[in-house]
Amino acid sequence: MRFTKMHGIGNDYIYVNCFEEQVADPAELARLISDRHSGIGADGLILISPSESGDVQMRIFNADGSEAEMCGNGVRCVAKYAYEHGLAKSQGAFTVPGQSPLPISMSIETGNGVLTVGVVTDGNDKVQQVCVNMGEPILAPGDIPVSLSGENVIDAAVSIAGQELIMTAVSMGNPHAVFFCDDVESVELGVIGPAIEGDGLFPNRINVHFVEMVGPGEFKMRTWERGSGITLACGTGACACCVAAVLTNRGQRSCLAHLPGGDLELNWSEQDNCVYMTGPAVSVFEGVWPE
């Protein structure tokens, strides 16, 4: 089975072109190839397949074999792969409200519906940057899901793992818990992250983010990703943190997120209520995984 390893600001996955390859048990394959000692090493597996509603379909399997609904860094890499391998053709310009349109766009079917993306290429027709319309944030607790009452979960006091925390919860097609703090580097993420992820408050587990505001248009964040552990980046999580910063009057709709693996540009548009995420997509290497 041929594969390509790619990453978006350090959030690395193994990508398989299912137009050409077959994967009988993606959950087991994800566990095997993600192992950084006995496998290839990755945060998970992403399958790129034919789609009836988009140019391509992506399915994401975390390092523990669980299937995720969405991956923001992964969808950028899927766009790069699909464009450079001729799996998708431009559907015209990609428009971000208030910004100049990008000339190349495509559509990708995900567990969060069909997303439109715009790509920026270099002089050799290689994709360097990808902008994704990540859709509207979901704030209703039952839809995130979070087992709390009310219309939303904004700066809510919760008790998790023996700690009293202030949490804002957002879904970007997958669930996120955001905790603002004064110093993200001092957070014992390897301890508190799994405790929050598996807490009974979250029926489907949850992605955990600690955020330090650098200024109204800039923040630092660290992530414990559901099913994968500490990761260098989380694209959907960065979008959720942008939304959370606005909802709690800490940040602006257009902002820059600093993640351990790199930066993402975010824009929660007032015109269509969608979050736009822009960042790089990088191919690392190709290889053959023995059957």
Q: Note if 71 is an active site residue.
A: yes
Of 21, 107, 6, nearest to 58 by C-alpha is 107
Which two structure tokens, joined as six digits, stand for 162?
A: 């023996």
Q: Which of 77, 234, 241, 255 is catalytic?
A: 234
Which two structure tokens, joined as six digits, stand for 102?
A: 């990008």
201 contact partners, CB below 8 Å, separation of at least 6: 146, 147, 148, 158, 160
Q: How far apart are CA 45 and CA 42, in angstroms?
A: 8
Q: At what angle do helices 235-247 and 72-84 cross, to 10 degrees?
A: 130
Give me the torsion for CA of 156, 161, 164, 167, rounded to 10°. Answer: -30
200 contact partners, CB below 8 Å, separation of at least 6: 147
Furthest CA-CA distance within the chain? 55
Q: Note if 131 is an active site residue.
A: no
Q: How far apart are CA 82 and CA 34, in angstroms?
A: 22
Q: Which of 71, 241, 242, 255 is catalytic?
A: 71
Contact 150, 141 (CB under 8 A): yes
Of 72, 126, 91, nearest to 277 by C-alpha is 72
Catalytic residue ranges? 71, 234
